[in-house]
Amino acid sequence: MNYHIAKGVFDILPKDPDPKGNWRSIHYWQYVESIIRKISFEYGFSEIRTPIFETTELFKRSIGTTTDIVTKEMYTFQDKASRSLTLRPEGTAPVLRSFIEKRLDKSGDSFCKFFYLLPMFRYERQQAGRYRQHHQFGVEAIGDNSPHQDVEVIDLFYTFLQRLGLQELTLQINSIGNKSERQKYRHALKMYLRPSLDSLSPESQNRYEVNPLRILDSKNPHDKKLITNAPKIVDFLETESKEHFENVCSCLESLKIPFQLNHSLVRGLDYYNNTVFEITSTYLGAQNSLGGGGRYDGLIKELGGQDLPSFGFGAGLERIIQTMLAEKVYMPKPNCPTLLLIPLGCDAKKKCFQMLSKLRKEHIAVEMDFSDKKLKHKMRYADSIKTRYVAVIGENELKNNKFELKEMESGNCETISFNSLMQRLKNDKL
């Protein structure tokens, strides 16, 4: 019996043999992850890691029972004690659960700016850019309701993408107001759509009663046309929400972060209020959102904590790495060994094995070919691992206490003694 990987998920390999799967090569992930850790630290966010599953109720309560994630996409199962558990479909709810459970909401001086780099699980219909396991870089800034907090988080995300070298970015923002403003808007939108209800796509018809704002997100061309003239949520904002949004916009302008107002942007999770945003790339297809987020002021209270405002975003690493390759930005080369030792014969093997250990103790990346294959094969291996140097060591080399250190790229050889090898390689690192 042959085993295959489950549908909608993928391996991240040292190098994916499929040229189209280049984005699944581990060194790209490690590079992006290193920049995430660096920039998050610079902006004052601390890492948090929550478990891979939580109680199902947590996600239902926070994401919303009528959302696509909760109705169609959660990996929910019962454990042996019949508890309903769900593989994490998103990061906000678990971070807040932890924040409240550890009573961080009660201590004024605790960490309240978090970032995470975690896998998420959603049972999605298979298509480009949508996976059943994806990886998110997310941040959650808890406790501040000023527009500056919104912009600090948006700036972090935008600067991160720029630091990766991405250029074809569009930041779209909108305000969806507070609960009562949304309620009024919801009513006005339904009134506007009612006469055309029968002509809406089946999906939008389903959303009409349960979640009409999501109709604004519809990709159906007829729905989209109809929505062009729909009432706009900004026109329903009262003074406080309006001022907040205007301040966010002017603060973005002051940082020279270009943005577009998108009155149809509502996001697919129920917990948002006021500012919502997404950053898209022209290099992606239909699933063009690199990430998005917004303000979710009522959620901590909803989950049993204090009434604290919050703002955050989540960004998909798969789409980010794919965009980097499509935009042909700088990408690091895989880490390669400094030296491959190729012994010929038993005595050389013993000597090389000792050298291997000594060099590694000095933090030099060395490999040794243990096989009894022909030299031709061993040299082919040296090529494939892209080692910087090769040293072939046989009886003569042992007898003369000297060998040739060959630089693979230039083909240059230099003769050195066993004793001077370590210093020679250390000098190289300086």
Looking at the Cβ atoms of 203 and 404, the one nearer to ligand HAM is 203
Q: How far is the CB of 161 from ligand HAM (least distance, A)?
A: 11
Is residue 147 near ligand HAM by the rule CB under 6 A?
Answer: no
Out of 48, 290, 303, 341, name the contact with ligand HAM by CB under 6 A.
290
DSSP-assigned letter for residue 228 = H
Out of 136, 204, 322, 323, name the contact with ligand HAM by CB under 6 A.
136
Out of 291, 305, 309, 337, name the contact with ligand HAM by CB under 6 A.
291
What distance in Å separates the CA atoms of residue 37 and residue 314, rounded to the nearest whole number?
Answer: 15
What distance in Å separates the CA atoms of residue 241 and residue 237, rounded to the nearest whole number?
Answer: 6
Out of 64, 94, 212, 292, name the contact with ligand HAM by CB under 6 A.
292
Looking at the Cβ atoms of 11 and 79, the one nearer to ligand HAM is 11
From 266, 317, 274, 277, select the one nearest 296 (Cα to Cα): 274
Q: How far is the CB of 295 from ligand HAM (least distance, A)?
A: 8
| Residue 152 to residues 40, 79, 174, 302, Cα–Cα distance (Å) | 11, 40, 16, 25
Contacting residues for 188 by C-beta, under 8 A, at least 6 apart: 231, 236
Looking at the Cβ atoms of 182 and 319, the one nearer to ligand HAM is 319
Looking at the Cβ atoms of 294 and 343, the one nearer to ligand HAM is 294
Is residue 143 near ligand HAM by the rule CB under 6 A?
Answer: no
Contact 177, 241 (CB under 8 A): yes
Is residue 24 near ligand HAM by the rule CB under 6 A?
Answer: no
Contacting residues for 392 by C-beta, under 8 A, at least 6 apart: 342, 344, 375, 378, 403, 404, 406
Is residue 275 near ligand HAM by the rule CB under 6 A?
Answer: no
**2 alpha carbon, distance to own chain's centre:** 31
What distance in Å separates the CA atoms of residue 142 and residue 139, rounded to the nearest whole number?
Answer: 10
Interactions with ligand HAM, residue window 302-321 (CB under 6 A): 312-316, 318-319
Looking at the Cβ atoms of 170 and 289, the one nearer to ligand HAM is 289
Interactions with ligand HAM, residue window 74-93 (CB under 6 A): 90-92
Looking at the Cβ atoms of 116 and 389, the one nearer to ligand HAM is 116
Element (H, E) at 414: strand 413-417
Encode 54-121 in three state secondary structure.
EEHHHHHHHHCCCCHHHHHHCCEEECCCCCEEEECCCCHHHHHHHHHHCCCCCCCCCCCEEEEEEEEE
Out of 124, 217, 367, 369, name the contact with ligand HAM by CB under 6 A.
124
Q: How far is the CB of 141 from ligand HAM (least distance, A)?
A: 9
DSSP β-ladder status, 113-121 and 46-47:
parallel
Tokens linked to 165: 């070298």
Out of 37, 130, 186, 388, name the contact with ligand HAM by CB under 6 A.
130
What distance in Å separates the CA atoms of residue 396 and residue 403, rounded to the nearest whole number?
Answer: 9
The interface mask with ligand HAM, positions 36-75, x = CB under 6 A, is ----------------------------------------
Query: 3-state SS of the chain: helix, strand, coil percent to 5?
Result: 45, 20, 35
Tokens linked to 11: 């391996």
Q: How far is the CB of 272 from ligand HAM (least distance, A)?
A: 7
Looking at the Cβ atoms of 95 and 366, the one nearer to ligand HAM is 95
Q: How far is the CB of 376 from ligand HAM (least distance, A)?
A: 44
Q: Locate the DSSP E strands across 256-348.
A: 260-261, 273-281, 289-295, 310-316, 339-343
Contact 392, 403 (CB under 8 A): yes
Is residue 94 near ligand HAM by the rule CB under 6 A?
Answer: no
Is residue 119 near ligand HAM by the rule CB under 6 A?
Answer: no
Looking at the Cβ atoms of 299 and 393, the one nearer to ligand HAM is 299
Looking at the Cβ atoms of 161 and 341, the one nearer to ligand HAM is 161
Looking at the Cβ atoms of 130 and 386, the one nearer to ligand HAM is 130
Looking at the Cβ atoms of 291 and 337, the one nearer to ligand HAM is 291
The interface mask with ligand HAM, positions 241-270, x = CB under 6 A, is ---------------------------xx-
What distance in Å separates the CA atoms of residue 392 and residue 423, rounded to the nearest whole number?
Answer: 19
Q: Which residues bind ligand HAM (CB under 6 A)?
A: 90-92, 122, 124, 129-131, 134, 136, 138, 140, 268-269, 289-293, 312-316, 318-319
